[in-house]
Amino acid sequence: MLKGKKFRIAGSLLVLALVGAACSSRDDNNASTDNGGGSGDSGGASESSIDTANCTADPTAEIEGNEIKLVSSFPQSGATAAFSQIAKGWKSYIQMINDEGGVEIDGKTYTITTTDKDDQYNPQNTVANIEELVGEDGSNAFAAFSVVGTANNLAIRQQLGDLCVPNLFAATGSPAWGDPTYPWTLGSTLSPYSLEGKAFADLLGDEKPDAKIAVLVQDDDFGKAYEEGLKKAIEGTDLEIVKTEKYATGATEVSAQITSLAASGADAFFDGATLLACPDALTKAAAAGWTPITWVSATCTSKTLMGVAGANANNAYSYTNLKDPLNPDWDDDPAMMEYREKVGQYQPDADVNNGIVAYGWTQGALLVEALKAAEKPTRLAVMESIHNFSASDVGLLLPGVTVKTGPDDPYLGEAFNVMKYEFTAPDARNHFVLVGDINDVEGQTADFTPESLISSG
């Protein structure tokens, strides 16, 4: 039956249709709207910290029409599909702004359109996606935004840098975005990973100045940033790293590593694991009867990850610069209420309680602020605006946190508040509780990060 001739012919045709679907010809694309590329009015700022001598596309060209085209590439399927939630946050904010009339730059109003493609977390795909979305001459989009993944952003920063197309708010905490050779790529409010070591060292300085630290990190650049950052932070203190264990990227259980760390006699633990390995470390530590002062990676602070660790996550420290939707203290906060309402309206399938949606929302808000602060509707002006940026109480930023950049300081997320996880009951609304005040290390990221992690050479 399934092999009958007619079925086979029909099947072949269907397959052919799927395989040979429409493709665009070489001449089609020249008709696309010019969005910053090509010649134009070039009354750019005379004092610019950004060198535009080698730009292959003109960064001073004004946007034609009234659409600001943003493009992004991030995982929407496959193993890391969960990261697609970030986009739901910023899409909601942008849709809200568009409905309210759009963004005004230099007297003219613009709507923001966003286009994105799935890269399944493969840098090869990110390169292809961005080349397609931005265009070889940069004429298909104004800027790239919120691309996920350190490797993915590293793969595109040169091409975007050559085109002088902004790559804004890269969704990773890698310190590499502070590299002055690539001013067109910028990080986001995700604090640089190396700062977590500093925060933990400061915490221990208060609680247990002579602590012996055990470290668990992933075996890649993410782990290296943690390891090196912590090492640098404890220089000159009485803190000591007694054992470091690594786990393979993507592993979901770390019992052997925890056993090894627990046996080291450490009384402080830096759990630099991410995704499922992080709560697993907490559970295994508890099962081994090991109760050190624990710090969890800021990437691990989501409701779901801490949730599966349950009671074992109690008293774990981390830090943040955003309001946590799970924290009842913010339930009546106007910014939080607006966030819940708008995300529910524009992206109803998003989980508002998920911290990465809140993060996405905040990046959207910051982007709009940066656009508004630009002197002219050109790429160069927007970059200068972002490199001399100062914002607080935007999106879901914690009160007291100022997102600031300057000519020598390209890092946005340098203020944070330490927090501690409180577990009350399995079905309760367990959440992190803020501890202490905002710690502002503005401009100091480079001091706490080894040079090799920032510049690529």
Query: Scanning residues 428 to 457, which ones bind another protein (CB under 8 A)?
Result: 452-454, 456
Dist CA 87 CA 179 (whole Å): 25
Decide if residue 68 touches another protein (CB under 8 A).
Answer: no
What residue type is assigned to position 249 of the chain?
Answer: T
Provide, rounded to whole angstroms, the least separation between the CB of residue 157 and another protein.
Answer: 9
Decide if residue 221 touches another protein (CB under 8 A).
Answer: yes
Is residue 14 classed exposed, middle or buried when 0-12, 13-18 and 19+ CB atoms within 10 A define those classes?
A: exposed
Is residue 39 classed exposed, middle or buried when 0-12, 13-18 and 19+ CB atoms within 10 A define those classes?
A: exposed
Is residue 52 classed exposed, middle or buried when 0-12, 13-18 and 19+ CB atoms within 10 A define those classes?
A: middle
Given candidates 128, 242, 434, 438, which one binds another protein under the rule CB under 8 A? Answer: 128
Decide if residue 136 touches another protein (CB under 8 A).
Answer: yes
Q: Are the C-beta atoms of 414 and 443 separated by less than 8 Å?
A: yes
What residue type is assigned to position 155 of the chain?
Answer: A
Given candidates 18, 53, 425, 428, which one binds another protein under the rule CB under 8 A? Answer: 18
Provide, rounded to whole angstroms, the least separation between the CB of residue 221 and another protein.
Answer: 4
Nearer to another protein, 110 or 295 (CB): 295
Provide, rounded to whole angstroms, the least separation between the CB of residue 311 and another protein.
Answer: 11
Decide if residue 113 touches another protein (CB under 8 A).
Answer: no
Decide if residue 294 touches another protein (CB under 8 A).
Answer: no
Q: What is the DSSP string of 49-90?
A: SS--TT-SS-TTPPPPTTEEEEEEEE--SSTTGGGHHHHHHH
Pick the piece of the chain touching another protein (CB under 8 A) from 39-47, 205-213, 219-227, 314-322: 219-227
Pick the piece of the chain touching another protein (CB under 8 A) from 93-101, 205-213, 279-287, 417-425: 279-287
Given candidates 224, 323, 404, 431, which one binds another protein under the rule CB under 8 A? Answer: 224
Residues 142-181 vs another protein: string with x where CB under 8 A?
Answer: -------xxx--xx--xx--x-----------x-x--x--
Nearer to another protein, 69 or 246 (CB): 246
Given candidates 45, 50, 127, 434, which one binds another protein under the rule CB under 8 A? Answer: 127
Dist CA 184 CA 69 (whole Å): 17
Nearer to another protein, 154 or 168 (CB): 154
Decide if residue 32 touches another protein (CB under 8 A).
Answer: no
Provide, rounded to whole angstroms, the least separation between the CB of residue 275 and another protein.
Answer: 8
Decide if residue 311 touches another protein (CB under 8 A).
Answer: no
Cα 236–Cα 241–Cα 243 angle in degrees, nearest 5: 165
Q: Are the C-beta atoms of 177 and 186 separated by less than 8 Å?
A: yes
Is residue 346 classed exposed, middle or buried when 0-12, 13-18 and 19+ CB atoms within 10 A define those classes?
A: middle
Given candidates 123, 205, 406, 443, which one binds another protein under the rule CB under 8 A? Answer: 123
Dist CA 303 CA 234 (whole Å): 30
Nearer to another protein, 219 or 341 (CB): 219
Decide if residue 31 touches another protein (CB under 8 A).
Answer: no
Checking phi first, is residue 77 left (phi over 0); if not, alpha (psi -120 to 50) or beta?
Answer: beta
Provide, rounded to whole angstroms, the least separation between the CB of residue 308 and another protein.
Answer: 3
Provide, rounded to whole angstroms, the least separation between the CB of residue 440 and another protein.
Answer: 26
Nearer to another protein, 203 or 225 (CB): 225
Q: Are the C-beta atoms of 215 and 243 separated by less than 8 Å?
A: yes
**b/e per residue 116-130 (b: at least 16 CB within 10 A):** bbbbbbbbebbbbbb
Given candidates 305, 386, 403, 415, which one binds another protein under the rule CB under 8 A? Answer: 305
Provide, rounded to whole angstroms, the least separation between the CB of residue 138 and another protein.
Answer: 13
Provide, rounded to whole angstroms, the least separation between the CB of residue 144 and another protein.
Answer: 16
Phi, psi dihedral angles at 242 (to 5 degrees): -95, -25
Q: Which of residues 345-364 bind another protein (CB under 8 A)?
A: 351, 354
Cα 257–Cα 224–Cα 283 angle in degrees, nearest 5: 30
Count the site residues for another protein by CB under 8 A.
94
Q: Which of residues 378-437 bind another protein (CB under 8 A)?
A: none
Decide if residue 53 touches another protein (CB under 8 A).
Answer: no
Nearer to another protein, 122 or 318 (CB): 122
What ranges in 120-267 are assigned the alpha helix state H?
A: 123-134, 150-163, 194-207, 221-233, 255-262
Pick the piece of the chain touching another protein (CB under 8 A) from 44-52, 93-101, 102-110, 281-289: 281-289
Q: Which of residues 228-267 bind another protein (CB under 8 A)?
A: 245-253, 255-257, 259-260, 262-263
Beta carbons within 8 Å of 16's beta carbon, 6+ residues apart: none
Nearer to another protein, 40 or 307 (CB): 307
Q: What is the DSSP string of 323-366?
A: --TT-GGGTT-HHHHHHHHHHHHH-TTS-TTSHHHHHHHHHHHH
Decide if residue 291 touches another protein (CB under 8 A).
Answer: no
